[in-house]
Chain A
Amino acid sequence: MSTDRRRVVVTGIGVVAPGSVGREAFWDMITAGRTATRRITFFDPSRFRSQVAAEVDFHPRQLGLSAQEVHRNDRFVQFAMVAADEAVADSGLRLGVGDAPDAPEPERVGVTLGSAVGATMRLEDEYVNVSDAGRHWLVDPRYGSRFLHQALVPSCGATELAVRFRAQGPATVVSTGCTSGIDAVGYGSQLIEDGDADVVIAGASDAPISPISMACFDTIRATTDNNADPEHASKPFDARRNGFVMGEGAAVMVLEELEHAQRRGAEIYCEVTGYANRCNAFHMTGLRPDGVEMAEALDQALAQGRIDGDEVGYVNAHGSGTKQNDRHETAAVKLSLGQAAYKVPMSSLKSMVGHSLGAIGSIEIAATALAVQRQVVPPTANYEVPDPECDLDYVPKTAREHKVDVAVSVGSGFGGFQSAIVLAKPDRRAS
């Protein structure tokens, strides 16, 4: 085993996804190809162009949050807390439970939480009250929550996790738009690689199904108007797709230094062997069709683990279901993997759980880690009519048993961010 760098493994996973709260429910849902997209229930969407979303049926009190935790925190923080609780329990690490003799040193535990839009839902809800539904520019403080500073600055999410698990190492919120969820796990891995932490609670959360978020994507027609058939509204890579379906949720991973995990006999899902991101420096929302920058990120992430393109057994796509994304991404994967791109299964979770902005990157990493562990790749739901410009194997509708020694997850976001992360079977190198 090479000892020239500290290696990072995933030892815990927690998921709060539309249609499935909890890791195993999530895995069952995505491998069954079920969709969680529906007509919006959080508010009356009839005045909006896009009226569908993938909502989480979320009952935070039943999931262990206290009344005050719910009261002071936006939904995105609540999601993160629930997902982190599950991930930490899954890891078997005794974090935040007093001075257990086998607990990791609090000072060696970090937090990297991704979120694209933070507490946007609470900020809007509160704004409605303090402005009397937009009537007053000079908002009335008497109608506002006393926790608005936490809503304004999303680092409160990292604080809640740090306090919850007594993580006294480096903590931050990572907010790179729709790649936040990959970047947060990538940064967390780098903290461990560089020796700044032994354990990092890393993941992402977003809860953007609110009128302002729906309205701002309506106006640029980024979201779909497939309102008549909400269950089949998200159609990544399908010729009929016409925009993404908004989603929400969270996923949190426990990242751990390999030897730290081995010493305590932890179950290891996978190793994080590489992570890279690049900017396209092109346009805030537009993508050049050639996919060069995403391919560069993928190349770099693979190179860090000395992995060749033909070793990749699964590509977890960004697959948002916009025409430009699907073509951009298909081109990027071909550019990076070469001929191997045509043989590797590549699927989009967004067909089932929608696009939860910053959170989805971590939800996709959770699914990818499970795919590596279980040697099953989830499908792209709703995929029926091929687009001639998207000519890869998108795993239509049905999950597939497949040899996955190495998997990659890629993401692309507003601002031009392109990210890639590589997960591998923990014993891959030993064999």
Chain B
Amino acid sequence: MTELARSRSDLVTEPTVISEEGVVTEVTGPARETAPTGRAIIPDRRGRTTRLLVTGLGVVAPSGVGVEEHWQSLLRGELRVGPIEGFDTSKYGVSLAGQVRDFDPDRFVAPQLKVQTDRWTWMSLAAATLAAEDAGYVPPEEAYATSVFLAAGSGGNEFSQHEIQGLWAKGPRSVGAYQSIAWFYAASTGQVSIRDGYKGPSGVVVSEGAGGLDSFGWARRVVRRGTPAVLVGGTEAGICPYALLCQVTSGRLSTAARPEDAYKPFDRRANGHVIGEGGAILLVEEADAARARGARHVWGEVVGYAATHDAHHHEDAAPDATQYARAIRISLADAGVTPEDVDLVVADGAGVPELDALEAQALTAVFGERGVPVTAPSSWTGRLMAGGSALNVATALLAMRDGVVPATGNVDEPVEEYGLDLVRQNRESDLDVVVVLARGFGGFNSSLVLRRAHEETP
């Protein structure tokens, strides 16, 4: 992570000159690196270019509340999957999940708002606060200048189960006034917008596990059309009896009783994944706007994105990885990089043998056999659906900052036939370009390309 400017006064004394195209043309001040070349230039609708920087991270995940807590947990290799607490899971055949054990909603959510919202929204409100704090983002006077574009997966599950339970057990009058605003998929986006006063073009995308990456794609459309700052990412909270039962029917959850036997992506004993709660919210800003407000630091740049759909079957996996590989290829072309430029892939890591094989097929098709280091950090936390792909973006940016690839958790015996350079021990590596991948149940494939920000130094 490089610091953009410590304060507005730094900006005044050390001006960074940006051309109309958003490319660094002249840099003054001490110890600055030269401008990078080959950067993707995204023309906006006026023919100008837009660069998207990630300037803030907020993490609420089984690995920790707070970005450094999450990162240290990954680096220590802590498996944060455990027996589901809070209810008896013996009927469901699935007993493990990645839970956010040290989450204190009262730290982030006012009592009055807390009673109106589901745990999923508490986590979004918390992650949005942490992202804005990390970015030093003070909402500008122009309320339309900030957007909220989150991914959702399953809505306000626990809140809703209580209300439906009450309705059927006691009748319509037992349904509280907040069900109408707590359950639906837009609840978290709406509440963040209202609490923080963000009036920009906002939205909610649902593409199961791919949603966290897709929110970046939509944020880019918003930024190209003139909104300088967007909160993206998302959270998930589906660990209550009914939501668990629903997820079990995907047929993709591990039924193992011990965490170390459960979610094992790319392993010979892969037998399904483990669900989890939480996620990440990130602040992305148009580069000029970030600089103009004196953004504290730049985590990295969003340089490429693409999404495809297998369009094969409502639940079966596609027969081959054609569309998945195509999403990766388009995102690389969009970023103006070649497969050889990519230093790391943060994989979807489904932990289902058939899906692992397909992902390996996509990766070897694009990067060649063992052509790029691959890690699947979700193995430490469980898969957080829409929140998980957002969390993987945060992890990728942390890896770039520290030059460390976090290992894939819980792998004993990788399937050698996959032909992957699967990172099994934390690996020091200079990371310039990182690709984050995600898939969603039903055939959604998304790929996001991140690049380390070079041009700014403290």
| A residues with CB within 8 A of B | 4-5, 47-49, 72, 106-107, 111, 116-118, 123-124, 127-128, 130-131, 133-135, 137-141, 144-156, 158-160, 162-163, 165-177, 180, 183, 187, 190, 193-194, 196, 211-212, 214-220, 222, 276-285, 293, 296, 413-417
Contact = CB atoms under 8 A, between A and B. Distances in A.
Interface stretch (B63-71, B181-189, B409-417): B181-189
B190 A134 contact: no
Contacts of B323: 168
B311 A193 contact: no
A280 B442 contact: no
Interface stretch (B51-59, B245-253, B254-262, B290-298): B245-253
B148 A279 contact: yes
Nearest to A133: B168
B239 to A, nearest CB: 13
Contacts of B40: none
Contact of A111 (B166, B224, B309, B313): B309
Interface centre among B154, B200, B224, B246 (most CB of A within 10 A): B246
A216 B309 contact: no
B197 A281 contact: yes
Contacts of B168: 127-128, 131, 133-134, 211
Contacts of A211: 167-168, 172
A138 B87 contact: yes
Contacts of A280: 199
B205 interface: yes
B25 to A, nearest CB: 25
Interface string B177-219: 1011101111101110110111111111111100100100110
Contact of A152 (B93, B217, B218, B246): B246
A219 B167 CA distance: 12
Contacts of A163: 311-314, 443
Contacts of B205: 172-175
Interface string B305-331: 011111111110000000100100000
B207 A216 contact: no
B163 interface: yes
B227 to A, nearest CB: 10
Interface string B79-113: 00000000110011100000000000000000000
A171 B185 contact: no
A72 B313 CA distance: 13
Nearest to A48: B172
Contact of A219 (B155, B177, B196, B441): B177
Contacts of B167: 134, 211-212, 215
A47 B152 CA distance: 33
Contact of B207 (A131, A173, A194, A214): A173
A128 B242 CA distance: 11
Nearest to B116: A284
Interface centre among B161, B180, B315, B443 (most CB of A within 10 A): B180
B245 A139 contact: yes
23 contacts: A4-B45, A116-B185, A116-B186, A123-B246, A131-B242, A144-B246, A146-B249, A153-B206, A153-B385, A158-B309, A168-B310, A170-B306, A170-B309, A171-B307, A175-B206, A187-B221, A194-B224, A214-B172, A215-B163, A215-B175, A215-B179, A218-B172, A281-B143
Contacts of A118: 155, 185, 206
A40 to B, nearest CB: 12
B398 to A, nearest CB: 27
A214 B163 CA distance: 12
B298 to A, nearest CB: 25
Interface string B210-239: 010010011001001100000000000010
Given A285-B181, A414-B190, A415-B189, A168 B144 contact: no
A169 B308 contact: yes
A123 B308 CA distance: 28
B177 to A, nearest CB: 5
Contacts, number: 282
B171 interface: yes
A151 B306 CA distance: 26
Interface centre among B143, B202, B211, B444 (most CB of A within 10 A): B202
Contacts of B314: 72, 150, 156, 159-160, 163
A51 to B, nearest CB: 11
Contacts of A135: 169
A224 to B, nearest CB: 15
Given A153-B153, A160-B314, A219-B176, 5 more contacts: A107-B308, A151-B246, A155-B440, A176-B186, A417-B203
Contacts of A134: 164-170
Nearest to A218: B172
B180 A153 contact: no
Interface string B385-406: 1000000000000000000000
B243 interface: yes
Nearest to A175: B185
Contacts of A159: 309, 314, 441-444
A144 B164 contact: no
A314 B372 CA distance: 56
A117 B177 CA distance: 17
Contacts of B185: 116-118, 154, 175
Contacts of B310: 162, 168
B29 interface: no
Contacts of B202: 176, 277-279, 417
Contacts of A137: 87, 161, 165, 241
Nearest to A130: B245
A47 to B, nearest CB: 5
A143 B15 CA distance: 66
A103 to B, nearest CB: 13
Interface string B133-177: 000000000011000100011110000110111111111110111
A140 B248 CA distance: 12
A254 B99 CA distance: 42
Nearest to A156: B442
A194 B221 contact: yes
Contacts of A177: 184, 186, 190
A116 B198 contact: no
Contact of A144 (B199, B221, B245): B245
B186 to A, nearest CB: 4
Contacts of B181: 284-285, 414-415
Nearest to A214: B172
A118 B208 CA distance: 13
A72 to B, nearest CB: 7
Contact of A216 (B175, B214, B242, B313): B175
Given A48-B172, A279-B148, A416-B193, A216 B203 contact: no
A116 B312 CA distance: 26
Contacts of A414: 180-181, 184, 186, 190
Contacts of A413: 186
A42 B198 CA distance: 40
Contacts of A220: 177, 180
Contacts of A278: 144, 199-202
Contact of A171 (B170, B183, B193, B207): B207
Contact of A417 (B163, B186, B224): B186
A194 B312 CA distance: 25
Nearest to A276: B201
A355 B440 CA distance: 30
B198 A281 contact: yes
B37 to A, nearest CB: 24
B47 interface: yes
A284 B193 CA distance: 10
Given A137-B87, A163-B311, A176 B203 contact: yes
Given A134-B169, A172-B214, A127 B164 contact: yes
B54 to A, nearest CB: 21
A281 B193 contact: yes
Contacts of B245: 130, 139, 141, 144, 148
